[in-house]
Amino acid sequence: MAVADAEQEREQLNTGTKPVADAHRFDEAALDAWMRANVAGFEGPLEVRQFKGGQSNPTYQLITPGKTYVLRRKPPGKLLPSAHAVDREYKVITALGKTGFPVAGTHGLCVDDGVIGTWFYIMDMVEGRILWDQTLPQYEPAERHAIFMAQTRTLADLHNTDYAAVGLEDFGRPGNYMGRQVDRWTKQYKASETQVIPEMDRLIEWLPSTLPVQERTSVVHGDYRLDNMVFHPTESRVIAVLDWELATLGDPMADFTYFLMNWINGAIATLPDQKAHGIPTLDETVAYYCRLTGREGIQDLNWFFAYNAFRLAGIFQGIAGRVRDGTAASPQAVQQAARVQPLAQEAWRYALKAGVGA
Arithmetic mean of pLDDT, 4-25: 73
Instruction: Classify the C-alpha dihedral 90-74-227-316 as positive or negative.
Output: positive
Same domain, 92 and 202: no
Same domain, 278 and 214: yes
Arithmetic mean of pLDDT, 115-135: 95
**Containing structural domain, residue 182:** 141-353
One-letter amino acid identity for 142?
A
What is the four-CA torsion angle of 324, 330, 331, 333, rounded to 10 degrees?
-50
Same domain, 43 and 146: no
pLDDT of residue 254: 97
pLDDT of residue 333: 76
pLDDT of residue 330: 64
Q: What is the CATH number of the domain that holds 160?
A: 3.90.1200.10
Tell me if residue 218 falls in helix, strand or coil.
strand
pLDDT of residue 329: 58
pLDDT of residue 1: 42
**How do strand 120-124 and strand 218-220 relate by DSSP bridges?**
unpaired
Of 124, 158, 185, the residue that ends a domain is: 124
pLDDT level of residue 319 (50, 70, 90 thresholds): confident
CB atoms under 10 Å from CB of 27, counted, come to 13
Same domain, 52 and 117: yes
Q: pLDDT tens digit string along 228-251?
A: 999 999 999 999 999 999 999 999
Q: pLDDT tens digit string along 138-184?
A: 999 999 999 999 999 999 999 999 999 999 999 999 889 999 999 99
pLDDT of residue 328: 62
In angstroms, rounded to a whole number, what is the distance separating the alpha carbons of residues 64 and 47? 6
Arithmetic mean of pLDDT, 40-69: 90
The yes-or-no verdict on residue 110 having pLDDT over 50 is yes
Q: pLDDT tens digit string along 264-310?
A: 988 999 999 999 999 999 999 999 999 999 999 998 999 999 999 99
Phi, psi of 334 (to 5 degrees): -65, -40
The yes-or-no verdict on residue 58 having pLDDT over 70 is yes
The residue with greater pLDDT, 357 or 303, is: 303
Q: What is the CATH number of the domain that holds 30?
A: 3.30.200.20
